[in-house]
Amino acid sequence: MTTSPPSVADGVRPEVAEALERTRAGERLGERDAKLLVMARGAEHPAIWAAAAALRDQGKPPIVTYSRKVFIPLTNLCRDICSYCTFAKEDGTPAAHTMSPDEVLAVAEAGARLGCKEVLFTLGDRPEARYESYRLQLRRYGYESTQQYLRAMCELVLEQTGLLPHPNCGILGRRELSELREVSPSQGMMLESTSERLCGPGGPHEHAPDKRPATRLAMIKRAGELGIPFTSGILIGIGENLEERVDALLALRELHEQYGHIQELIVQNFRAKPETPMAESGEPGLLELMTTCAIARLVMGPDANIQAPPNLSADYGPLLAAGINDWGGVSPLTPDFVNPEAPWPQIDRLAELTREAGYTLTERLTIYPEYVWDDRFLAPAMREPTRRLADVEGLASAA
Ligand code: SF4
């Protein structure tokens, strides 16, 4: 079906219609156009969604992917303090917990029985820098750092269950990333934002040294240099302005154009959580989330993988009309420990909504199909364990 470009008659400003026309013609979206689109008004929103959806359909098959996984919150201690976070707990409080190797293995084995293929390790950033008792606990397990412990747990689940680990543990140095690459096919860390203001007094990242934009961008660059398929993305609604939102997308595009390693870009919407300093802050609505997803698609281009988590929007089906092609990790077993108030949708429901939009819900691995058969992006030791779970297209095999 062909659609005519939006026009002034549709309530779309001429400059917006022209910018969208340029993307339709295959032009790379420039900073000026991206910053114009992010200021969309009224009927311009659906015009932007439609342009993004058309770009997705141009570059992607008619499938929407997800990864069937278990979440392992290896430790919920963290050296940072972010104003919106309920994941991190203070050491010594009842909810603080570092999982033992036995606990890790029990969750991974339960996931394997339910057909999961990924273990997503979520954890706080370098808690050993803040807590003496945690350092002692690590030593009792036989490790000097969280990264060493994480690496060992990746190896454990890989060897014992065959599930593919995806570590997401904050800022790491080159050697640390490289060591994790030996035991996992992909890694991740949200960029969140490139706004320095958020690190200033009163900002959500004032007490989070690992959230400095330059620190995060440098780490994502290191991952690119090492050939690590990398998941990143932006967190919207934490105090950044609309132009800063575009700056973050452009920064990720620049790194991806250099290294080709951003396998997936997540657009995550801030959810206000009780008992946090940002409990009363406004949350981005569905329209704003859709337009941000659409701009992410237009910035990153037709081949990119753009994800929005389905459990963070009451009505997530419309996100497909804004150019996303992935729902992220969905667990039949473990809750979303970062957003525990937001349960995962049933996979059947996700499949139904996806079908209604004209696409087929399809399982992928933690590493995206584009990277599975490309030796540049997998350590030799990870090729067989990864590829044994994949089909010829790099998606999760049905067997
Ligand atoms: S770095 Fe992550 S885990 Fe630590 S406080 Fe911030 S959001 Fe929470």
**DSSP structure string for 295-343:** HHHHHH-TT--EE--GGG-SS-GGGGGGT--EEEEE-SSS--SSSTTSP
Distance CA(194)–CA(184), nearest Å, equals: 27
Which helix (H) or strand (E) element contains residue 158? helix 146-161
pLDDT of 342: 65
Ligand 1 pocket member 326 (CB < 6 A): no
- Domains of the chain and CATH, by start: 63-387 (3.20.20.70)
List average pLDDT for each run of 10 residues in the chain, which is 399 residues long.
60 95 94 97 96 97 96 96 94 96 97 94 96 97 97 98 96 98 98 97 96 98 98 96 97 98 96 89 93 98 95 83 94 73 77 94 98 98 98 91
Tell me what pLDDT residue 7 has.
63
What's residue 193's pLDDT?
97
Reported residue count of the chain is: 399
Gyration radius of the chain over CA positions: 20
Distance CA 250, CA 30 (A): 9
Task: Give kind and range of the element (H or E) at residue 257.
Answer: helix 242-259
81 CA closest ligand 1 atom index: 5
Alpha-carbon gap, residue 219 to 81, rounded angstroms: 20
| Spatial distance between the Cα atoms of 124 and 189, rounded to a whole number of angstroms | 11
* pLDDT confidence of residue 5: 63
In a mutational test of the pocket of ligand 1, which residue from 71, 87, 189 has the highest number of ligand atoms less than 8 Å from its CB? 87
Nearest to 294 by CA among 79, 120, 86, 53: 53
**Which residue from 397, 96, 82, 390 is spatially nearest to 211, judged by alpha carbons?**
82
Would you say the CB of residue 270 lies under 6 angstroms from ligand 1?
no
In this predicted structure, what is the pLDDT of residue 175? Answer: 98
Does ligand 1 have an atom closer than 6 angstroms to the CB of 78?
Answer: yes
Tokens for 385, please give them: 């364990």
Query: Which residue among 71, 76, 78 is best mutated to probe the pocket of ligand 1, counting the most ligand atoms within 8 A of its Cβ?
Result: 78
Closest Cα partner for 366 from 69, 121, 63, 113? Answer: 69
Q: What is the pTM of this model?
A: 0.94
Question: How remote is the CA of residue 82 from the centroid of ligand 1, in Å?
Answer: 6
* Residue 116, ligand 1, Cβ within 6 A: no
Angstrom distance (rounded) from CA 47 to CA 37: 10
Residue 62: CB partners within 8 Å, gap ≥ 6? 358, 359, 360
The reported pLDDT for the residue numbered 173 is: 97
Can you give the pLDDT at residue 273?
Answer: 86
Integer Cα distance of 180 and 379 in angstroms: 10
pLDDT at 69: 94
Buried-exposed string 220-239: b where 16+ CB fall within 10 A, e elsewhere: bebbbebbbbbbbbbbbbbb
What pLDDT, on the 0 to 100 scale, is given for residue 209? 95
Q: State how far the alpha carbon of 103 is from the alpha carbons of 100, 109, 270, in Å.
A: 5, 10, 30
Which of 83, 89, 125, 191 most suits a substitution to test ligand 1, by most atoms within 8 Å of the C-beta?
125
